[in-house]
Structure 1
Amino acid sequence: MDLKQYIIPAIDDLKKLQPACQTPAPVVFLMKANICNLKAIVQLLHKHHKQVYVHIEFMDGFKPDKEGLKLLKNEYQVDGIVSANAKALVMAQSCNLQVVYRLFLVDSISLKRSQQILLNNDFSTIEVLPAINALKEVKLLQKIFVHSHLIAGGFIRDQALITQIFDCGFQAVDSSDVRVWPTLQPHSAQQHGK
């Protein structure tokens, strides 16, 4: 996944498809779809040169087993999946899908559990939620997950928070808030007069 401090659109409503197509981000996270409309959505996003990563927990009519994941790759042409389910991510990798591991950072136990999962698996991209907790623990996250790309997500609603996230070293953010999508991308220190 190409992560250059992009704001990745997280599409939680199909009305957000067109705005997502207009962003410079090369990737979108699809949170709202079902097996009936997925193919058309993926075709539209691919037409706009977007890689499509689906949140498999939010896919209606889909079962995240080996056959379901093969179907996502071969029939629906999905580029990758986003999930907190390590078993599903491992199966997805065996189907040549890219994966993003969702780490819900709610306490030290969740961090330790995720660290153990990542020691046993090769997930190169991690989405850390919520973003405010990701910011508070950024040094520890960077130390533990030194070989992983970090994405901050959850409750990202303004440019000030995005700037703070990028300044701390995260490679990308994802947000379902359309108001932050058209901000300057890719983000760089020069854009902030530094």
Structure 2
Amino acid sequence: MFKEFTIIPSVRNLKNFDSALASISKVILLSEVHVGSLRSLVKRCHDNDKIALVNMDLVGGLATDKIGIKLLKNLFRVNGIISSNSINVNMAKMTALYAIQRFFLIDSRGFDSGLRALENTRSDAIEVLPGPLATRFKEKITKVRNVPLLGGGFITDKCTVSEIYKSGFMGLTTSKKDLWNDYGYLKQNK
């Protein structure tokens, strides 16, 4: 999924969904969605040749268990999930969904605990939050789990996007619409 740097539109408000569909990204993250609208949103993603990811921890009306994950794949046809829960990530992988582990930088104790959790996860990628701090921890995270890294959270300007890009991350998630389509400055500043 991450062969080149990708800015993933994170749709927190459905009024921005059409803008996400029109973006140049091949991936859309449905960050906050209700199970009642999920099927039609995923279908619209697929109709527009987009990969549909959901933040499993924020899907309203869906249990975050094995049955919920199977529903995401078989009924709602999502392509993958993002979750801070390692169990959900591993269950998603067993169900043949693309799985991204969310990794929060809170404090040193939480960081060490997160690294231990990464040793047992089968994630395809890791989203490191908050984005402005993510690049400082790249080497330590990739020593434990060497998969594509994404920045996420508090990514609101081109400078932060550029820093994440320059550091070798494979992408980022952002709800800031202004950043969804403008990649030109990245190539010039590498």
* Residue number in structure 1 paired with 2:101: 101
* Residue number in structure 1 paired with 2:76: 76
Match of 1:174, as an amino acid? T
* Residue number in structure 2 paired with 1:183: 182
* Residue number in structure 2 paired with 1:166: 165
Taking the TM superposition and a 5 Å limit, the aligned residue runs for 1:1-194 are 1-145=1-145, 147-184=146-183, 189=187, 191-192=188-189
CA-CA distance at 1:75 after TM superposition? 0.7
* Structure 1 moving runs of 4+ over 6 Å: none
Q: Point out where structure 1 has 5 or more consecutive residues left out of the alignment.
A: none
Q: 1:136 to 1:2 in 2, by over 3 A?
A: closer
Match of 1:58, as an amino acid? L
Contact 1:128 1:152 in 2 (8 A): yes
More helix by share: 2
Q: What percentage of aligned pairs have identical amino acids?
A: 31
Q: Point out where structure 2 has 5 or more consecutive residues left out of the alignment.
A: none
Match of 1:61, as an amino acid? G
- Helix, strand or coil at the partner of 2:36: coil
CA deviation map 1:101-156 (0-9, x unaligned): 000011222221121112122212000000122123233334443x2110001111
Contact 1:151 1:172 in 2 (8 A): yes
Contact 2:30 2:54 in 1 (8 A): yes
Match of 1:176, as an amino acid? S
CA-CA distance at 1:3 after TM superposition? 4.4
TM-score with structure 1 length normalisation? Answer: 0.92
Contact 1:81 1:97 in 2 (8 A): yes
CA deviation map 1:153-194 (0-9, x unaligned): 111111111111110111101100101112126x753x33x5
Q: Work out the CA distance in 2 between the residues paired with 1:66 and 1:142.
A: 28
TM-score with structure 2 length normalisation? Answer: 0.93
Q: Work out the CA distance in 2 between the residues paired with 1:65 and 1:140.
A: 30
Match of 1:82, as an amino acid? I
Q: Work out the CA distance in 1 between the residues paired with 2:137 and 2:93.
A: 28
Q: Work out the CA distance in 2 between the residues paired with 1:159 and 1:181.
A: 11
- Helix, strand or coil at the partner of 2:82: strand
